[in-house]
Structure 1
Amino acid sequence: EQVTSFQFYVGCQSSENSKILDHFKYQINRYMRYCNGECNEDPATAKVLAKTDAFELIGHKDIVTLSEFGIPSMNRVRGCLIESCNELTTIIDGSSSSSSTANSAILPNLEQLYMKNLPKLKSIWEGRVEPGSLCRLVTLELQHCPLLNKIFSNGVIQQLSQIQTLIVE
């Protein structure tokens, strides 16, 4: 049976208001919020993520790159908020084996990306960029990322034909 709607809360209170759902002009039916995680994640997380339209990663204790979640499992995600993940240095590592998916686009459906309070974030993308990666990104918002020295490499910039809003604070 196909599940058409869900809201999963992992490691956080379900009563907490979503921070990303209000940013969409249309209804998002498949949402996951992951709070206060640590290494040795449960493989079930990737399975749920593969069916998720909006994803919030908040306060993860030791993740260094979002690629650690397995990028193929995020191809459906249209909105992503990453907040207070103190060890995060790069969002996408296109050179790592976990994100290289036989020349396939990475995050091809992502429309909105919000990053807040990431003290060690140095770059959004490192490594190889496949055609179609981030091709639907409309909004990128960065707040309180003091070490960020490279938002996008040249290869990624060429993919961003839909970008309308870029906020860096």
Structure 2
Amino acid sequence: MKTVQDDTGKRYLLLKRSEHASLVRDPRNGNECYVQNDRLESVDEAGALETAARTVSEPVRTFLSTVHDEETLGLLLELDDRGPLRVRTLLDSYDLCESDLHGRLTVLTSADLLEEVEVGGERGYRLTERCETALESILTSENDHGQRETRVEGEL
């Protein structure tokens, strides 16, 4: 499958090309339609799978391509739940050695999912807006008021 776009800039996946029109599918909703060939042009920068993936918001795509295991996911969920945490708190609270934690923090920071902050006079980390947006999109757990609960560091 190739990626094409029409004269308005809308992208489609090319399913079948005939002499005058092509059958295309909108990757966002799956709708198929015929578009006149003179209104379509090939888009070489992205393959069909990349085009399909781009129907997911950029923060969620970044999140999915960066978070590769349950421990890293759990780390982000804990930071979401407990707020910014000191590195010392992260080391004391979770079963991660210093080098594993440092590696995860480095990857997450370079993906703009975490940012370094000062917490209680020490180095710490908090979620970025990009990460918060991604988590909001994938989490379904809400309290009775339709809002996610947050806790302050140190609360149980």
Under a length normalisation based on structure 2, what TM-score does the superposition of the two structures give? 0.26
Structure with bigger gyration radius: 2
Under a length normalisation based on structure 1, what TM-score does the superposition of the two structures give? 0.25
Higher relative CO (Cα under 8 Å, sequence separation at least 6) belongs to: 2
Name the structure where helix makes up a greater proportion of residues: 2
